Amino acid sequence: MTWYFLRRLLLIVPTFIGITILVFVITRFVPGGPIERMIAEAQQASLQSGGGQQLGEGGQTLDEDQLRQLEEYYGFDKPVLVSYWEWLLKVLRLDLGTSTRYSEPVWDTILERLPVSAFYGIMTMLITYFISIPLGYWKAIKHNSHFDHASSFIVFVGYAVPSYVIGIILLVVFAANLEWFPMGGFYSEDFEDLDSFWQQAEDILYHAVLPLLAYVAGSFAVMTFMMKNALMDNLAADYVRTAIAKGLPFRKAITRHALRNSLIPIATHFGNNISVIIGGSFLIEKIFNIDGLGLLGYESVVERDYPIVLGVLVISAILQLLGNILSDICVAIVDPRVQFK
């Protein structure tokens, strides 16, 4: 078992290199980049200053020398693989480079957003599990009842409507019209002035209600039905009949015998959730104006801020790879039949 997981951990290295090299190469060949963006900005600036005299030099705001300096600065003067190698060496020293847009270390930018995304991710996951497992349990036991049908309807609506649409509806109804909740943001502007930890926590939760609803609405359908179907299968299983024939009351036969078997597929899903969830949904972050990793990644792609794009990629790739291994560990914990060699 230990050997198996050791091997899985070692396999992260080539996978990681594969993922990053692919994205790194793509960033080189996609039109547009930090230099082009800078040129455009400089043109914009000179147009606004009403000048136009500098445009006389062949329509270029930057001369050859400056361009070469910039290329050298961003590492564009070397072949792709050489600069990838240099980037990789820096990553190994935990240096993700400097953002071309903010001129700040990428690490700082990411670390600033990570807690926000992690908060939403972990909360969404906890709420999803706390709703899905009991709901799926009750739906399985009350199969074909009014409760089952009504909850299925709600679950399917939540699944069918995209989460950003739910987000917008929630915003319009509960923030704009009813004014029960704030319009967006992670916390209030006077957050720093709040005295106690509890007031700060309350402020964050107050801001989190609507976005969390939007996140959860989309994610609990799959889990709920996975739970319900797994439990229904197990309720009909022979060993549950054995347990009842042994003298266990029906309810106890479920909670002691069927439930644990039904959690196996849920456990398989667990690791995958972690990576997806910490990545966040840039659409929901955008709607609710939350500065999370999803939004950061999306904006840096649009702005061709490659160091940040690659930085976000590094974080999410490692989380995804570790998440997969975590899934396997979870499955091995709940299902003794699973043996890794």
Residue of 311, 245, 287, 325 lying closest to 107 (CA atoms): 311
In the complex, what is the shortest distance from the CB of residue 231 to another protein, in angstroms, rounded to a whole number?
A: 14
189-196 long-range contacts, CB within 8 A, separation 24+: none
Nearer Cβ to another protein, position 110 or 243? 243
Nearer Cβ to another protein, position 28 or 143? 143
Strand partners, 98: 105
Strand partners, 105: 98
d(CA 176, CA 14): 49
d(CA 183, CA 314): 32
Helices (H), the chain: 2-29, 34-48, 64-74, 80-92, 106-141, 146-160, 163-170, 197-235, 238-245, 250-253, 259-279, 282-287, 293-302, 306-334
In the complex, what is the shortest distance from the CB of residue 240 to another protein, in angstroms, rounded to a whole number?
A: 8
Concatenated DSSP letters for 55-96?
A: GGTTT-SS-HHHHHHHHHHHTTTS-HHHHHHHHHHHHHTT--
Nearer Cβ to another protein, position 31 or 336? 336
Residues near another protein (CB under 8 A) are 237-239, 241-249, 256-257, 260-261, 264, 334-337
Q: Decide if 140 contacts 235 (C-beta within 8 A).
A: yes
In the complex, what is the shortest distance from the CB of residue 267 to another protein, in angstroms, rounded to a whole number?
A: 11
Nearer Cβ to another protein, position 82 or 338? 338
Nearer Cβ to another protein, position 21 or 248? 248
Nearer Cβ to another protein, position 70 or 334? 334
In the complex, what is the shortest distance from the CB of residue 149 to another protein, in angstroms, rounded to a whole number?
A: 16
Using left for φ > 0, alpha for ψ between -120 and 50, and beta otherwise, residue 181 falls in beta
Q: Which CA distances in Å does 260 have to 139, 143, 265, 301?
A: 17, 19, 10, 43
Q: Tokens standing for 183?
A: 């319009």
In the complex, what is the shortest distance from the CB of residue 97 to another protein, in angstroms, rounded to a whole number?
A: 48
Q: Decide if 117 contacts 292 (C-beta within 8 A).
A: yes
Q: Tokens standing for 185?
A: 């943001």
d(CA 250, CA 240): 9
Nearer Cβ to another protein, position 28 or 256? 256
In the complex, what is the shortest distance from the CB of residue 268 to another protein, in angstroms, rounded to a whole number?
A: 14
In the complex, what is the shortest distance from the CB of residue 335 to another protein, in angstroms, rounded to a whole number?
A: 6
Q: Which CA distances in Å does 250 have to 49, 72, 257, 314?
A: 80, 72, 10, 49
Nearer Cβ to another protein, position 178 or 245? 245
In the complex, what is the shortest distance from the CB of residue 260 to another protein, in angstroms, rounded to a whole number?
A: 5
- Work out the number of other CB atoms within 10 angstroms of the CB of residue 56: 9
In the complex, what is the shortest distance from the CB of residue 228 to another protein, in angstroms, rounded to a whole number?
A: 18
Nearer Cβ to another protein, position 234 or 300? 234
